Every structure is written in C-alpha cells, then in structure tokens.
Structure 1
Amino acid sequence: MKNAMMTVADATARIEQGATLVIAGDEKALARLPKGQWIGGTAVYFVTETGARQDHEMVFVTEVAEGSASRTRFVPTEDLSSLADQQFENGATMILIPAFSDAHQRFALDGAGYPDIFAQPLIGWISGVALEDIGEVAPKVFDGATGHVHEDGAVLLHVEMPAGRVAEIDILNLFEQDRESPTILFRADGFSATTAIINGEEVNLAKWVLDNNINTQRPLVANYAGAMINVSFQNVDASAGKCSFFAPVVEGVEYRIARNPGDYAKVFASRANGDGANEMSCNCILNYIFGELEGKTTGTFTGPATFGEIAYILLNQTMVRLRDVAMKQSNVA
C-alpha cells in the first residue's frame, strides 16, 4: 500500500489508470473525481509528512497493492449485518461510514455481533466535516464505482491480498487507565448515560464529572480482552444531567478515566513502529485537537483525522493501521 496527499488532478490520473484507492477529502474535491475502483469519505483534517493540517483542496489517497483483485459495494443501514458478505478468501475489507448517521450508531452498537465480522481484517473510519460545519453540513461517503454519494449506510472495498501475503490490523492507543481513577460501570449500552456506578455507588454521571473537575479530553478506558479501548466524551450537559459519548459505553464493562499520555506528538512518534508510508492508517480528530497536532509530524504514519476509527469495531482517540505481511510472519490463523 502507498499513501500520499494528492491534487485532484493527480488522483484523477491514478483512477483513470485503474488503481484501487481509498480517498479522503473535502466533499467538493471528492465530487470532482471520475468513476473508478475507489471509495471515499469526507475529511478535511490530515496528518501529513510535513505536518498535520486542514486542507480543502487536496485529497489523501491510499493505494492498494497493484494487481490485487477488489470489489466495491454500498451497504444500506438496514443491511449492515451483511458486511462480511462478498469478502475474498484471503483478503481485507475497508469500510467508510458517515458521522452522525443511523449507520454510525447501528454499527457502533451492533457491529461486534454481525456474522463473521472478525473473520478477516475490517478497517476504516467515520467520515466528517470541518468542525465549524458540524450540524450544518452532513458527512458523506462516496462509491467511486457508481458515482453515488451517501449520507447514511456504508461503502466497502473488499480487497484480495497478493499471493503469499495476508492483511494484518493493529491499533495504537496512547491512553491507559489511570489506576487512581475510580471504577465506572454502566447499566445499559449506549451513546449517552445519566447515571453510572462509581466505586459501587450509583451517581449522576454529569454531576460527578463536574464536581470532580474531570478532564473530559481524556476518555474512559476499558480493557477489552487485553486491548485498551477508549470511549470519548462528546458533551457533559449539567442541566439535563447527562453525558454523551462518541462511541457507546457497554453494560457491565469496567471503565476508568485515562491518565495523561504526555506530549502526544512525541509519544506517538516514539511508539508508532513500522513503515507508515506503506500502511493504511487514520487517526482521530480528538487526538488532532487535544494533542495540538496542527503543524506537527507523528513519524511516518499519515492519513486523515477522522470522526471515529474502525478496527473490527468503532474506536475513539486511537490510530488504526492495516499492513500486508508475509504469511509466515503473520499472527493471523
């Protein structure tokens, strides 16, 4: 795989040459691209080789290995459980879903239970818009093969790995549980909560967050079978007594507030091992904002800053990455 920020003209040339691409960019830029073997999602924040920046003119392009077989398709929200259909026997699936859509919510709440969802790598992101346009402009996804643009549902790119190689997903999460934080439990799954059980006592969560001066730039963190998974705060509404999140909390899972990771850009660059120039990856818009990444570089890993990341399930404040490796080196069974 190869990554690059490109002009629309250069991206157009690659599409017309038959390349298989995943593209992030402003809606107007994506709308100028011709039909071809590509999927795209709206994004205007990027981590680039020369520093993170907002860009409405250029697009970020990830090119799948030349010669790989591939197919694109659009999946309506009501059919999301069919995501694993039409996969190649040895392959990976890239998925893009618009932020704030029904598909975003349904995938977040139900995705882990979809048939064969963990059978092979599923990676992608939630498309977004400029922060000042939230609520005014709908995030979108593009099916390049048909030229259709969608505000709901998911676009997929199923890719077959080259002979002798397999796809492998990894995540990089700089957040860990603050062991001095109390344990936090929820009675129901959802993108919001009014109450939580904190150190065994049921309390109003918004009031607890405000009374204890909790820094909501740090997510809730839980251990999911050995992986630290974040749930980021979206809003704390004191008048309604409710907290809302960018991903759902899960009933019965033990969360704690994250500890401070330190200088995000430096810590990220030191921990992001591998050749990011040849891997598909994306980072979170919250890391971009809270980590003050504007103008900073984070090693070789580049890509869009998105409104959510997907590595089998929906993630927040995490970088996800996909690489292809020789079979004998892979941990994939």
Structure 2
Amino acid sequence: MTDPGYIQLYESGELEQRVQRLEARLEHCDICPRRCGANRLNGEIGSCNAGKLVAVAAVCAHRGEEPAISGSRGSGTVFFGNCNLRCVYCQNYQISQDPERQRPNQITPSRLSNRMLYIQNDLDCHNINLVSPTQYVPQIMRAIYEAVPRGLNLPIVYNTNAYDAVDTLRELEGVVDIYLPDLKYASNSIAAKLSDVAHYVPTARAAITEMYRQVGNLVVDSDDIAVRGLIVRHLILPNELAGSEESMRWIASELSPSVTVSLMAQYYPRHKAMEVPPIARSITTAEYRRVVNLLDVLGLENGWLQGEGSRDYYLPDFNFEGHPFERG
C-alpha cells in the first residue's frame, strides 16, 4: 500500500504552510460556511460552539461503519464535540448540542496527535475516522503535521455533515484519503427548519463536488478496505423530508452513477424530534423501499443498504464511558 499523501506534503513543506494558513483564519473564523468571524485564537467561541482547543468526546475502534471503512479491525473513530449544524433529530446530540458538557473534553492539537497515534499503534485500526471535523480543520491539520514525524501513516477519513466551505476543503487535498459526507436535504427550507442552517443544498452540493474532484470514486485494497475515494451517505427521513429522490438524481447526473452511496435507514426520533410532528416517528417500510428502488432506476449500483432494523444498533450513548456503541 502506498503512503498517504500527507506524508509527501509534510516532506515538501506544503503541509506546514497549509497548517499556518488555516490557523491564521481562526483569528476571524471563516473555516465553515457560517463564516461567523469569531476570534477563536483569542478565546472567542464560534457559532459552532468551538474555540481554540479541540473537544474530543470519544476515541474508539468503531465496527459499525460501512464495511470498507470498518473492515475487520475497526475504524479508528474520533468523535468531536460541537457542530456547525443544529439538527433537531441528531443522534449524537449529547456531544454535538451541549457545549458546556464538552468543555472538560477540550484538548490541544498535540494531544489530538497522540490520540491519532494511539489509534494506529494501540487500537490497530484501518484508518483514522474524523467525525464532525469541520469546525476543527486547522487543529486537525496541526495534529497530523505533528504526528507524521512520529510515524503516522493511516488513511484519513473525513466524516462530515457536508456543510463545509470549499476553500477549506481545498486545504485538505492530498491529506484526506476518504471523504464520507452526508447529503442531508434537497430543500433549503427544510434544512433551515430541521438543522437551523441557511443555503444547505447548494453549499453541501458544492462541497461534495469538490470532494469528488479530489479523490474520485471509491478504491479498495485486496481486503476490500477503502484506501481512497468518496462515499456519500444519505439518511432517509419520514415523509420524504430528506428529498431522497432529488438528491439521488443529483448524484447520478452531476457526479456519476459510479459514485458509492451508503443509504441509511437508521433514523430514530432523538433529541428534539418528538416536538416536530413530521419527524416524530421512524421511517416506514414503504418509505425505505421507495428509495431503494430509486437507486436501481438511476443506476446507482455501488454502495450499501442499511437494514430496516438498524436503528437500535446505531444509537450511541455518550454517557457511557469508553465506546458509545459498545455498552457491554
């Protein structure tokens, strides 16, 4: 297997330059599309509820991701605290929507670097899986920069809600090996109602297009483990609120029918979802089958279908110390 691209970028000096550029942007933060302007270097908190330090809620070998990500040894998952969206149904709401609770979890990029090496050397995972990384891109890049001379050589997975700024993503080219974005909505008004975000659709589509430009279609090794490429996740919501048909048509026509799609059926009304009647239930079999059939119609043949009974398995509990998905 060839070395990840970030090693060559480190050796050429390019990685250090990118780290410096990204860190400078924290002074008037424009890392994500909200571009709130907070001086995070001086202790101000951005609209994402993140500051200068990195909130890390959990680090574990996750065996519940897509088969090409988890493999046989698990995906070395770093669950970051806080988020630049406010999804009323967020399954990770315990860490994404409770900034006060995340304060004790704040660490420096150097400590994050240590955890990356722990994933590689102690957990022996296939990759480093960065969950909700958007608000911490500068710190993540610093951590990778510090870990390379200490032997880091695992592929990097960027596991995101896709509300990412293209200019930030461009700094990740050659660093991220596998992009794993959600494509949540096909309607800006629904995105505003359910995730408190403006212009989600054009922003996420532009971000995913840039990701695809960087890494292309999914490439796996001889053991069917992902080494490079794009995997687009789509969570089916009740009452067709995710706009599944429009989003799948966009992938097929504007990206490629060859793009790998991970169709998720795990929706469960958590957090504030019971207060929003259209999403206060799980999806039906008919809703699930409709989207599955659509994949066939559009020729989207690469990827995975999550089983209808998956929601119970995929509910994390971050009150449990250690692994949020393995509670013994």
TM range, smaller chain: under 0.3
Write 1 or 2 for the structure with the bigger share of helix: 2
Which of the pair has the greater relative contact order for Cα pairs under 8 Å at 6+ separation? 1
| TM-score of the aligned structures, taking structure 1 as reference length | 0.26
Write 1 or 2 for the structure with the bigger share of strand: 1
